[in-house]
Each structure stands twice: as structure tokens, then as C-alpha cells.
Amino acid sequence: MFFRKSLIAASILLGISSIAIADDNSGFVLDDINVDGLEGIQPDVVKSRIRFQKGSYITPEDTNQIINNLYGTGFFDSVDLYRKGRNLFVNVKERSIIAGFSFKGNKKIKKDDLDKFAKKHLFDPLEIKDYTLHYSPQNILNTAGGSEYKSRDLLKFIQLCINKGQWNGKQIISSSWIEKATTPKVNARTDADYGYLLWLKSFGKDKKYKSYYMSGNGGNKVLACPELDLTVVITATNYNNRNGHTYTDEMMNTFIIPAIKQLKE
């Protein structure tokens, strides 16, 4: 079964004539995702934008959203989906943007030693011992996300930020870096900016308070609101639910921020 969809706007902007969507109206329960056509981009990057996993029920409308999500990355010139039984196949053609790049200025840390560096200079000072790190197929530490921690340790990370990099009287991360990371670098959405791996957004009901946070699949949030001296960790399981972040935003706006505000009055 092939998924076909014509997008006039996409044809103009991306130079394509059509992308794939279902010929019928039936959905199916997903068993596996297979990605073909990748050259420099890792399969996990594609799968993270698909936002469905084994056992998810996928409708033709969902496939449209998958295609839009993949085009939205800006990584691909073409995206085609097709289904064999309960398996979803994704064929992509990468957009040639950068032929190669190199990092300069990092002379002290080898990329193979990033996990050791993190343990010595971050995990040990914060007394974080129970965690799982994720690595790329090249066995390089994934520093953009994916690692697993207990909620209390996630709270330590965000408290370290609100402390401007200090922990128990010791400077773990430079305060200037924290300031740079929590300063807007791009307007990512109508209601949110983006810093260095941190979302910047205001929360509250009657009054909005500037906050910054890490965001994860399902509505997970690790958030700091400096004005209220507040740190929050929300762990949710609404994985691949498009409303997951809406739910936790509502928790912040309707319950958590107003409650803390009242306590401080």
C-alpha cells in the first residue's frame, strides 16, 4: 500500500511533485519502521520525527503528519512512505546542505572521552550515579538527548542552571554559559524561543513568568522559573501523543505556577 499526497506549496518550495499517502482509508497497528536512503543522517533522527512506535495505530491522516514532520526538518528533498503488512517503510533523499564540518577549539576533550568527562565534571559533583547514556552508531556519546535519569537527578540538572552553574558552593558550569544557553537564539514558535538545547517560554494564568526548560517525548519537562525560584520535573507517558506537551503546559499554567505564586504572596 502506498501513501500518496500532492502538495502544491511543497512542490514550489521543495521542487517535488508528490509525496506518498494511503490509497485507502484503513489504518494499521505498527510493528516496525524501516528507513532507506540515508547517507549522513542517522535513522534515529528520522524515527524521532515520526513520533510513532511499535504498537501505535496509524491512520492515513497520521502518515500525512509524518511526511510533514520529515519535510519540516529541512533535511530531505523527497519523502515517500509505503506499507508492507504492519511494517512502515520510509524512503528519503537527503538534501545536500553541508558536505562536511569540523570542530575547532576543543583541544582538551576527545569525542571518545565525552562520557568520562561528563562523569568527572558533572555527574560526580552532583552525586548522580544511576543513569543510562545513549551512544551513536559510531559509539560517540549522544549529547543532544536520549540519556536516562531519575527524576531527582533531572531536578539537579535544572537546579544547577537556576543556581547559575554552582553546586554546593562549587562552580560546576560557568555562569556565562548558563546565561548564553538561556538567552533566545531563535524564535522557534509563536509562543516560544530556543536557546542552547533549552526552550524559552512564559507560563502562568493571570501573570506570565519567564521560564526555560528541557522538553521530552510525551510532555516531559525539566523546567526552571528563576523569578519564582522554582524548578519542576514532570515525567509523563503520553508518548507520541501530539497533545502531550499541551497537557503539561496546562499543568504549569493552571496549577503549578499559580500555586507557587500564592505561596510567595
The answer on 65 and 36 residing in a single domain is yes
Range ranked top by mean pLDDT from 110-114, 144-148, 156-160: 156-160
Residue 64: inside a domain: yes
Residue 197 · residue 143 · CB < 8 Å? no
37 vs 18, residue with greater confidence: 37
Residue 247: inside a domain: yes
pLDDT in the model for residue 212: 97
Give the total number of structural domains in the chain: 3
The answer on 134 and 28 residing in a single domain is no
Q: Binning pLDDT at 50, 70 and 90, where does residue 188 land?
A: confident
Please list, in sequence order, all residues whose beta carbon lies within 8 angstroms of the beta carbon of residue 83, skipping any fewer than 6 positions away. 1, 2, 3, 22, 28, 89
SS3 at position 138: coil
The answer on 198 and 139 residing in a single domain is no
Residue 99: inside a domain: no
Closest CA to 52 of 27, 77, 22, 20: 27
The answer on 155 and 255 residing in a single domain is yes
Residue 237: inside a domain: yes
pLDDT in the model for residue 98: 42
pLDDT in the model for residue 109: 61
Please, what is the average pLDDT of the chain?
81
For 2-16, write each residue's pLDDT tens digit. Answer: 333 333 333 333 333
What is the CATH classification number for the domain harbouring 52? 3.10.20.310
Alpha-carbon distance 248 to 222, whole Å? 11
Alpha-carbon distance 35 to 45, whole Å? 10
Residue 223: inside a domain: yes
The answer on 90 and 122 residing in a single domain is no
Residue 197: inside a domain: yes
Q: Binning pLDDT at 50, 70 and 90, where does residue 121 land?
A: very high
Please list, in sequence order, all residues whose beta carbon lies within 8 angstroms of the beta carbon of residue 155, skipping any fewer than 6 positions away. 222, 231, 233
| Domain coverage including residue 116 | 108-145
Alpha-carbon distance 71 to 49, whole Å? 10
Tell me the mean pLDDT in the region 11-27.
Answer: 44
pLDDT in the model for residue 112: 61
Range ranked top by mean pLDDT from 32-41, 90-99, 118-127: 118-127
Lookup: cell for 78 = 523527497
Q: What are the CA-CA distances from residue 165 to residues 117, 158, 174, 179, 206 (Å)?
A: 16, 10, 6, 10, 31
Q: With a cut of 90, say whether residue 213 has pLDDT above it.
A: yes
Q: With a cut of 70, say whether residue 49 has pLDDT above it.
A: yes
Residue 101: inside a domain: no
What is the CATH classification number for the domain harbouring 246? 3.40.710.10
Q: With a cut of 70, say whether residue 26 has pLDDT above it.
A: yes
Residue 102: inside a domain: no
The answer on 247 and 173 residing in a single domain is yes
The answer on 235 and 212 residing in a single domain is yes
For 75-120, write each residue's pLDDT tens digit. Answer: 777 888 888 888 989 888 876 544 444 445 566 666 668 888 899 9
Q: With a cut of 90, say whether residue 174 has pLDDT above it.
A: yes
Tell me the mean pLDDT in the region 258-262.
Answer: 95
